[in-house]
Amino acid sequence: MIVYPLRLAGYGLLAVGAINLFFSGILSPNLLGSSPGRLSIANSLIAFVPWLLLSLALIFLQGNLARRSREQWPVQLLHRLLLPLLVAYLLLVPLMISDALGFNRSVQSDIDGQLQLYRNGSRQLLDQVAPLNSPLSVAKVMQRYPAISMPVNPGESAGQLKDRLAEALRNGEARLKTRLDDQRRSRLEGLFQRTISGTFVALVAAAGLAGLRRQNLGAIVESGHSLGEYFGQDMLSDRPWSLPWPLRFRFRWKSTKLHPPEEWPEEWMVSEEPEQSVQSKARP
């Protein structure tokens, strides 16, 4: 029957997806301490959704029909995990949105901090040159700040030099703001698009898990059995696999001769009463 190979494929897909999820670093405790780390965990869980839904759909295919005995405990465990996974993906939606907004605030806070640091330095420099009356004194103060490359023109008064210095500081702040805005866009590039798509995928995952759980619960209620009884009934015995089939037949024959069953089928039994002849059976 084709159902069992499809279920085996489902178990294989689930194992491969779980291995990929494990090696993505989702269990690293360092990721939990920051918004980018938690967003990385969320993205790994979102990438796991196709593996999860496809594998579970194959595993629970056709309910409990033609299920092998070796599947009894794994399939019960997976059914019990449907509700925790459903809740986890529902909780992932507000967590992703919260971490995305938090990361945006963190980046903006870094930009504001760097701008404020530059403004404080500019104000400190202007306060130092404010009481000076000679261009030479202003130039000596400016030499303490190598980042300011502004030539001093001969014959320029101290006031004119101070005005040019203030304008240069304002232009430097504008350039810094432009560069920080570019960095902000590069750091946040696609963040909100990924958050929106991840939210949609998480809701799809929750809906799919809820549908699988509802399907299983409906079949269990209809059967009138408990969970363990439902998945334990009508199990097909696993075929022996340790020996090739010619050796398997000989092994069964020898084991039957060495250890005969306690009860033989009736058609194998030989009657101890003497058989009547054909002529006696023909008599009235």
Identify whether residues 81 and 143 lie together within a single domain.
no
Identify whether residues 140 and 19 lie together within a single domain.
no
Domain that includes residue 202, residue range: 3-104+191-232
In a domain, 55, yes or no: yes
Using CA atoms, how far apart are residues 108 and 177, in angstroms rounded to an integer? 11
CB neighbour list of residue 168: distance below 8 Å, 6 or more residues apart: 148, 150
pLDDT computed for residue 220 by the predictor: 82
Question: Scanning the structure block, which residue is given the tokens 């092998």?
Answer: 68
Identify whether residues 24 and 66 lie together within a single domain.
yes
In a domain, 258, yes or no: no
pLDDT computed for residue 283 by the predictor: 47
Look at the chain and count its residues: 284
Identify whether residues 96 and 195 lie together within a single domain.
yes
Identify whether residues 99 and 7 lie together within a single domain.
yes
Buried b (16+ CB within 10 A) or exposed e, 194-228: bbeebbebbeebbebbeebbeebeebbeeeeeeee
pLDDT computed for residue 245 by the predictor: 47
Identify whether residues 16 and 70 lie together within a single domain.
yes
pLDDT computed for residue 262 by the predictor: 52
pLDDT computed for residue 277 by the predictor: 47
Percent of the chain residues topping a pLDDT of 90: 26
pLDDT computed for residue 32 by the predictor: 78
pLDDT computed for residue 239 by the predictor: 45
- The list of the chain residues with pLDDT below 50 reads 237-245, 247-258, 264, 268, 275, 277-284
| Count of domains forming the chain | 2
pLDDT computed for residue 178 by the predictor: 92
Determine the 3-state secondary structure of 276 from DSSP. coil
Identify whether residues 225 and 132 lie together within a single domain.
no
Identify whether residues 182 and 195 lie together within a single domain.
no
Contact 39, 103 (CB under 8 A): yes
CB neighbour list of residue 58: distance below 8 Å, 6 or more residues apart: 6, 7, 9, 10, 13
pTM for the complete prediction? 0.67
pLDDT computed for residue 202 by the predictor: 95
In a domain, 41, yes or no: yes
